A = this chain, B = another copy of it.
């Protein structure tokens, strides 16, 4: 939703921050060209951000500081869901030896809260804070499957069904069929849809109200996950982890 009465000055500051995220470090002149702002305006914004710790100057160039990490870390730490789930996800990674992930939905997209690597884990370039379309991962699908249908429609309308690989779900009907399966099974599977050769299994974490809080998954190369595992031992283990989190949250 767009703001009815946006604070334009703030939007300029945010545009500047977004630019610094993309590339950088930047000089004042460079940024002023990039953003179509006067040099003085850019300078004023940068020094303001700097005095509050959001931006640093080194060798005459400006870049973002670690204040964003501090704020992000603080926000994550204040989430009960994260605090309860974190040890379970780590345990899951340690026991399976693979990559375990924790995802929540925010504004219709998935946000990774953390990942934990087991001894043999593949090294995807996911990281805490990374956003992903919900329909492209097992984690996302298991969340979509537990949202009201109307909300799913909203999310599709807003974010589309952009597809990463030929195997991905590409149409609305296809997605709803998949979500039906997920609901029936209780977990979601991604067999090479996001990344060729990568198998992924996700289970939902639900509050006592039935609302979905997030999802837990394990990702592993297909070579190490047999078809039997994929429908036997693995879902059992992931569902059990999700269940422990549910119990700990709902006391």
Within 8 A of B (CB), among A34-57: 40, 43-45, 47-54, 56
Q: Is B21 a contact of A52 with CB atoms below 8 Å?
A: no
B residues within 8 A CB of A129?
A: 66, 69-74
Q: Mark A87-107, 1 if CB is under 8 A from B, else 0.
A: 000100000000000001011
B residues within 8 A CB of A127?
A: 73-74, 76-77
Interface size on A, residues (CB 8 A): 53
Min CB distance, A38 to chain B, in Å?
13
The answer to the question of A131 belonging to the interface, with a C-beta cut-off of 8 Å to chain B, is yes
Cβ contact of A10, chosen from B1, B3, B10, B68, cutoff 8 A = B10
The answer to the question of A13 belonging to the interface, with a C-beta cut-off of 8 Å to chain B, is yes
Cβ contact of A1, chosen from B2, B51, B117, cutoff 8 A = B51
B residues within 8 A CB of A17?
A: 71
Q: Is A69 a contact of B6 with CB atoms below 8 Å?
A: no
Within 8 A of B (CB), among A111-150: 111, 113, 117, 125, 127-131
The answer to the question of A4 belonging to the interface, with a C-beta cut-off of 8 Å to chain B, is yes
Q: Is B75 a contact of A44 with CB atoms below 8 Å?
A: no
Cβ contact of A66, chosen from B7, B40, B49, B111, cutoff 8 A = B111
Cβ contact of A9, chosen from B7, B52, B70, cutoff 8 A = B7
Q: Is B50 a contact of A3 with CB atoms below 8 Å?
A: yes
Min CB distance, A8 to chain B, in Å?
8
The answer to the question of A244 belonging to the interface, with a C-beta cut-off of 8 Å to chain B, is no
Q: Is A75 a contact of B64 with CB atoms below 8 Å?
A: yes
CA distance in complex: A167, B90 (Å) = 35
> In this complex, what residue of B is CB-closest to A94?
B119
Min CB distance, A110 to chain B, in Å?
10
CA distance in complex: A6, B241 (Å) = 50
Known contacts A7-B9, A56-B107; A73 and B130 CB within 8 A of each other = yes
Cβ contact of A71, chosen from B13, B21, B56, cutoff 8 A = B21
A-B complex: 5 closest residue pairs judged by Cβ atoms: A69-B72, A73-B129, A70-B129, A72-B72, A3-B47
List 19 additional A-B contacts (Cβ < 8 Å) besides A3-B50, A14-B52, A73-B127: A2-B51, A3-B47, A5-B47, A6-B44, A6-B48, A10-B10, A14-B49, A17-B71, A53-B107, A66-B111, A66-B129, A68-B75, A69-B111, A69-B113, A69-B129, A70-B129, A70-B130, A71-B129, A73-B130
